[in-house]
Amino acid sequence: MNRSLNATVLPGMQRFGTASVPTHAVGLALLKTEWQKAADLILQKRHGEHPDVEAARDAWLKEHDLDKALSLFPKRVVAERCILESFKKQKGDTRNVMGAISTVSFDFLEFQQYPGSIVKTRQLDS
């Protein structure tokens, strides 16, 4: 099978994304109950983001200013806002991160499907 058909048929990077933080990595952290790691992955900087989102991430990651970050994050950036709002409500406790990021629960499915996608891709490339 040629590579162009392979890219069309299989989920590959279209399914799991080409972002600096693949959703399956977040899913793995969640499955391992590594709440802080999952939150950190979601909150980390991403190449090429809109300047308003970059400013919000900087407020959190560089300045450690929760209120400033929340005020700067646009409403469209749902998962990040949910996590920071949970941190604020729980005074930094990460045990409720799973509830806060229920909006990104698809990450579990991403992680479960990722190994199968790799195997299929390798079989078709052979």
**What's the pLDDT band for 91 if we cut at 50, 70, 90?**
confident
More confident: 5 or 38: 38
The span from the CA of 119 to the CA of 124, in Å, is: 9
Each domain of the chain, given as residue ranges in start order, spans 19-125
Query: Mind listing the pLDDT tens digit for each residue in 32-54?
Result: 888 888 889 989 998 889 999 99
pLDDT at 81 over 80: yes
At a CB cut-off of 8 Å and minimum separation 6, what does 100 contact? Answer: 82, 83, 85, 86
